[in-house]
Structure 1
Amino acid sequence: MKKRNKHIGSSTDDFLQEEGFLEEARAIAIKETVAWQAEQAMVKMVKEKISKAKMARPPH
């Protein structure tokens, strides 16, 4: 028989929902993800010497 960890409680989402912060936490996470993705795109542009115009063009 498998023992369950008695120290495991509710999920972080459950806790944030109960405290009324879930939507705010999700919004912050999305903003941070978008900012990170933009930063990674800028790093790629500099590293590969790609212009903003070329980066904005749709792929063929």
Structure 2
Amino acid sequence: MDKDLRNAFSGLSPGKQREYSEYIIEAKRDETKQKRIEKIIPMIKVGMGLNDKYKNC
């Protein structure tokens, strides 16, 4: 894990950190876990929560 990603993840609220952790853990296959990680890295770096895009609907 790179330093910028680690700092960005640490800056998230505990609830957002938990959302991301559960999202990865719920995947059964390693391939799925890897795809999910690749998907969420840019979101974490900008400080966005996993479900933030649905909050202002």
Which TM-score applies when normalising by structure 1? 0.32
Greater relative CO (CA pairs within 8 A, separation 6+) = 2
Larger radius of gyration: 1
TM-score, scaled relative to structure 2:
0.33
